[in-house]
Structure 1
Amino acid sequence: MGKITAVNDELEQRFTFALLAAEQNFEGAKLAGWGLEDTSVVPGEGYVYKVTVALPEDANIKIKEGSTYAGTNLYEELPQPIGLAGIFKDSHVVLSWNYNLLSSIYTSYIVEKSADGLNFEKQNQQPIFNASQHANDNNIALYYTDSIPNDKTFYYRVKGKNAFGDVGPPSEVVNGQGKKRLEYVPHIYKKEIPTDNKVVLFWEFKEEGNGIITKFKLNKGKTNNGPFNTVIDSIPVNAREIAFKGLDRINYFTITAVGKNGVNAESLPAIVQPVDSIPPSEPTLLKGVIDTTGIVRLSWAKNPEKDLRGYRIFRANNPNIEFSEITHKTLFEETYIDTVSLKNLNQKIYYKIKAEDQRYNRSKFSDILIIDKPDLVPPSPPIVKNYEITEQGVKIQWTPSSSKDVSSHIIYRKTDNTNAWEKVYESTNSLDTVFVDTKLSPNLYSYTLTAKDLTGFESKPSSPISINWTTSKKLVDIKFSGTVNRELRFISLSWKTPKLPIVEYRLYKGYSDEGLHLYKTLNGSVTKFNDVDLEVNSSYTYGLQLITKEGYISKVEKINLKY
């Protein structure tokens, strides 16, 4: 198997070299059966030529035929080679020119040289061509190196040769001289930085080289690879140090020795970094917006410092606590997108930023940016504190919602024979905690309350209460009286009421100059009570209130007694 592979590889190589030879020599192409010269054409006529492979009759493969159109009227002058350039160095020159742009016309090139610019001689005995494939790259170049004596001018040009052996016109001529390179090269070995804006550079250069140079030049660049610009020219040949003011954050310096023959020698770059402890100014014009998904978009003005590296962003839920950094690495732009949770009780989010320079010095904090978060959390529900059935209707008292952004409290009502809640009252006064429902007819009513915030979110409803309303009643006439018995040391209280389904009496007590407070709760069948919790020479006020089976609560009937 290996022998078969080797034979196949050898055949492929033979075929490849045959193609190469045919491309470089038209006579070889004709001998190989890959070329044809037609001498019977008529000027002005066009011809179609078709080529097929003469396969054996028993061959089981098919090879597509090829065709082309040609005529004398299609003749064009061959183009001039493009982009010839020459780099003249010590005792040699390197020539280069574009290959790809004319690769469909020329298969090889001829290099010619002249000592006087008039009489040119061919230099290459073998064709110069490109054997590599470079698709879609028009900048592929061919190179040729020639040895020449120094200090003498030589002229070069190239010509293209196509597959038919035709040679095109010469390219533009380039000329130059080889120059002996400087034997000595400067070397920067020390630098001193007395201030943050000044450097003193020291370099080595052999004294024997002073006679072959005219001066030194100091060059400065922003990177190790340049470009370098001359910042101090005409430095004396015997100088070995130079001071320079006007440093940037990072500086690269080279020393160039300028030769008398026009050839220069440049040192390797030396980096100079002055000490920088001055931070940037604090960022300004910090702005931000937040959407309903919790995405925050921040922007601010760009800092003016030339050595600015970037920014660091800090965030907090409370301006009085320590802010946390959310970037964790330097941000190089003046915009930032953050994401915050809206499902918490914090109504605001706080941001501030710092600027950072290339030495990692950080500025002071910017002014704090306050962003109001969109309210997606409903307020806490209010609580029904008490209710009372009066002759006007049902009186409801409540404890307001504890949320700070409440805009109103809403009372809903429904009857026993429906499931739909009906809004009967909405209060926008935060101090309003009482409502009397007067639009009633005999039925069982349920009441509940909600709180609504500034964005329109309603709280969960409070626990409902149910009240059986029969009919509105006039004031119940309570005959309430009392007598003082100092001998037995008690006060006897008694009362009479109309015949009503009374379930409870509430007895209130207080000193004459103070308010009443609930003293006793008595069964609805009780009609008198003896009070023995007394102090001598004291005046007392008693109050009595009844509650019926339907939930009606009477007003408090009062009497004053002195013991």
Structure 2
Amino acid sequence: MKKIITYITLLCLVSYSVIGQLKKKETPSPAQKSEKKQIIKENTQTTALLQLLAKHKDGRIVLRWSPVNPKVWDDGNQYGYTLQREVIRRDGKFLDRREKSFVKSLVFAGKSQWVALAEKNDYARLIKGYFYDQPIPVWEKDTAVINNALKGRLIFSMLTADLSPEVAGNMALSYVDSTVKANEEYVYTVSQNTAAGVSSAIQAKITAGLAVRIPQFAPGNLVDLDFVDSTVTLKWELSTRTVYTAYHVERSDDDGVTFKRITSTPYLPLGNSANLKEISYIDHVRELHKTYVYRVKGIDPFADESEPSNLVRVYAYQTRLVSPKNLDYSFVNNKAILIKWSFPDSLLINVKGFNLYRNNGDKLEKQNERLISKDPPHFHIAKIKDHDENIIYTVSAVDLREKETFSDPLLAIVIDSIAPAKVTKLKGKIDKKGIVKLSWQPSVDRDVFSYDIYRAEGLNPNDMYMVKQVTAKDTSVIDSVNLRGATRYVYYKVIVADYHTNYSTHNDTIRLVRPDIFPPDPPKFTALGNTDSTVVLNWAASSSEDVMNYKLYKRFLSDSTKKLLLAFPSNQMITTYADKDWEEEKPMVYILEAIDGEGLSSGDSCQAKIRVLKPLRRAAVSILTATYQSDHDNKGVKLQWKYISKKPVVKYLIMRKSGKENDFEKVKDVSGDVLEFVDMKVNAKTEYTYTVYAFFVDKTSTYSGKEAKVRTR
């Protein structure tokens, strides 16, 4: 019992220190007296000033009550309490009127009773000092000091009363009713006595009876929180269904067959009771590699033990392990590496196995899917990824509680002869100032040294040369090109280089188009001529590659309006045009315009001017037929002709000759709108040759035209 006195004494230091302060105080002023009254008044304004519990055992009902603030407790110590019992139910039926069984007055025990109890009860010996050995000085008037002292005494008085029924009886805080009957149910009322009599304001009631079932609870959810260095940390929940003042922890060394209490005194959880939700307890075991079983029992305010909690099994082992040593590596092939290590055989009983980790920058990546066996020899084969270079490995020993002890890191150097992965999503653009912006998705390799930028201009995209080199962190670059290149296209390629001078292969090539800010070169007229009815033009196409369309215009010099003659795409390869809509002696100009994909035009620089002169002779009449008709009324030679001319014909001159040696002679003039004639002045059996001339308004005439022969009958 000496241990519990020592333990509770630690909890009592606060109240004893308050008593020590009392001796140093001076007589309070009237203002301090008023403050004392106010503080005591505030402390008594609670909804439940007394708490009353009841339980039955051995055919008796045991009552236990507690004041909840220092003022009520202090008054109860001075004036005591009144206990009343009333019968409310008999043989299972409620009574019409309650029957008052008894009224008892209970008072705080005198000094002689405390001295007698203290000789055999350590709790009484501890708490007696509060009331008789070190009472609060009567001259102390500081309300704060008085209230603090009362609070401390209240706390430890209730604690000792909970742990000792005899102490609770001396404090007039408990009562054992041995006169109860099994067929009756009672209401117990505890009221605090005052100087004026029994108080109805400070009281508590509870219903109890031997037939009233009181459920039994045990501390819940006992778990093994941790085990380190032969130390077991247990944890269980603070019960919300019953009240436990303290606990006893029990341990079994024979797998739960028998249990022995390891708390020689009741275990009192420390902390703010308002916030306390879990309780912890630490036990130290002496023997390792053995299973211990634990359980917890609660101690209620009647000093009775609860049912035991659930069982927790703890295997004790050596938790302080050495780390794996002597890490080494060797290559199985270019895809696998063998990691081996050593670990003391004497400590293998404390581990489940091993894990192999690879350091990937900010995290460790486990290399084994399952725990590596603890049986020697200790090794594991890990995969090597493409483009791996310097790999850091760590081995951990996993103990029986899954805790890991890590080795020193091992650096494995991989000889890299593998080309790095190429960049992806290469894209770029050339602006109208010739600035090139390239970007890409970086290589997936971690050992990239640089990105080499290659460019090709001209007709052969394979003739590339390096123009830039950027660091591995860059994913874009800026270049510049001449907008007046030989071709519209510029080719780029990004090659990845690693630290071992390996270069990426099968790299993507991007083709960029120079922005079109210059008009295309104009086409050129190569030939220009005319016939009697047509002006014929010939030309050569523009030398620019980006020409999409051509347009041919005509404009008379006396007019500023252009007339579109022909529009065609460049892929039709048209190089000639015949214009039939013209006027003699009227100057005109032909304009051929080239248009590129950006809508830029070569303008009017490709021009051909022409004036069709009035000829001395015009084209002959080339369509002429002569037939002999023998009917009586129109006997003779019938002539028919056709002539097409832009100029109006005034008349046609019909000429004839007979035989082969004679010259042509005039037969007749006919109007310009007449296209046939019958020559009736012919001789029989004679061969005639005819020709026709056309005469125009401008006094010009045609050349000698087609001759038509006919023989009369």
- Which TM-score band applies after superposition, normalised by the shorter structure? 0.3 to 0.5
Normalised by the length of structure 2, the TM-score is 0.38
Structure whose CA Rg is larger: 2
**Higher helix fraction: Structure 1 or Structure 2?**
2
